[in-house]
Structure formats: C-alpha cells, structure tokens
Amino acid sequence: MTTVLPVRRPGAADELPPAGDERSTAGRRADRARQVLGRTAPWLVRGVMATAVLVFALLAVGPHVLGYRTMTMLTASMAPEIEPGDITIATPVAVSDVTEGMVITYHMPVDDHSLVTHRVVSVEKTPDGSVLVQTKGDANAAVDPWTAHLQGDTAYEVRAVVPELGHLVQLLRTPVVSQALLYGAPLMLAAWLLMTIWRPAPAAAPTHEDKENQE
C-alpha cells in the first residue's frame, strides 16, 4: 500500500481548518469545564451531605445514645488545650472519682449558674459525702473565686475536643443559614439524584473490528 503525502510549496499558507469546524479554544475549554463539573459535583454533594450527617450524629444523636455531653467553648480560659469555638465532649464520671487535674464541665455556683469547663485544682470531701472542688482555667492567672459543690452522683469529665466545629454550629444557627439549609438541602439532594439517574453512560472504546471497518 502506497501513501501519497501532499508537497507543501515554499511560502504557502497553512491549511485552514474545515469550514464545518466552528469549535474555538474557548468552546473546548467550556466543554472541559462542564466535564470536570459533571464529575466533581456529585462528589461535592455527597461530601456536604456526609459532613452534615456526621455533625448531626455527633451533636444530636450521640448524647442521647451514648450518654456524653457536648459544649461549645466560648472563651479562651482553657487555651491552648481548648480554644474558643472548639467543641468539648464530656463523659459521665462518679463524683467520688473526681480528682485534681481533671477537666470537668459543671454549673458555676454564682451569677446565672452557667456551664463552665475548667481544670480541678483541689478536691474536698465532707463527712456527709459531698464533694467540693476548686477549679482554674489553664490560661487564667488565678483560681476561680468560688468553691463548687458537685450536685448528684455524676460529674462530667472532658475526654475529647473537636477543633473549630463550634464556629460551624454557631453559623448553622443563624437565621439566614438555617433557612438556606431548610430549603437548600432538599434541592441539593434532588439534584444529586437527578444527576445520578440521568448521567450519560460513558462511550465504549472502539474495538479492533470497528477499526478494521473504518480502514
């Protein structure tokens, strides 16, 4: 079989693309961008949904099923171990087992009795079985100006810290974001389902017989 190649004359202009080929560089880039978006969008939706499920399980389901408590740290009194915006995970422990060095979450015996997470610096057990503790924030210069009487049989010791998650929780609680999630999450789910159903099947690679027929 003989192949004839055209001879280009010196100074001749480059061959122009066929008249029917109207695709420009910008058009090819747009097609490539659509292909990339079509591949990444389903994974992005799955990632957002998986994150939402994990956060919901950690903050809403876990405390009821596993018995732990979560709290968002609002101050830097326990920095650098616990920074503002971190979420603490505290598990129950017997009041009689509370010892110096533990980081516990309890109600302050002053002002509005809000929750505080500080380190125990002293423990006193009275003859009637009550447990009195003094605490201090790791970043504070002085011990807390009160002595806390741990009520009941159970205290809560901080076992783990989830960095920065509290900022996300506070953001989700804002009216604008909560409304957007209320209506946007179902739309994202519907879009993901539609993309899964209507996603075109990938074109099959040409077989050896197809190549022979083309020749």
Question: How high is the mean pLDDT of the chain?
Answer: 79
Residues 101 and 123: their CA atoms lie apart, in Å, by 10
| The token pair that represents 188 in the structure block | 């994202």
pLDDT at residue 11, rounded to an integer: 56
Residue 150 or 129, more confident: 150
- Strands ordered across the beta sheet of 87-94: 69-72, 87-94, 154-162, 103-107, 115-125, 131-136, 148-149
Q: Are 120 and 138 in contact (CB under 8 A)?
A: no
pLDDT at residue 93, rounded to an integer: 95
Residue 192 pLDDT > 80, yes or no? no
Q: Are 75 and 139 in contact (CB under 8 A)?
A: no
Domains by residue range for the chain, with CATH: 38-67+164-198 (no CATH), 68-163 (2.10.109.10)
pLDDT at residue 171, rounded to an integer: 73
Q: What is the pLDDT of residues 139-170, one digit of tens each?
A: 999 999 999 999 889 999 999 999 998 888 77
Task: Say if pTM beats, i.e. exceeds, 0.95.
Answer: no
Q: How confident is the model at residue 99 (pLDDT cuts 50, 70, 90)?
A: very high
Q: Are 170 and 178 in contact (CB under 8 A)?
A: no
Question: What secondary structure letter does DSSP report for 160?
Answer: E
pLDDT at residue 57, rounded to an integer: 80
User: Helix, strand or coil for residue 58?
Assistant: helix
pLDDT at residue 179, rounded to an integer: 67
Q: How confident is the model at residue 132 (pLDDT cuts 50, 70, 90)?
A: very high
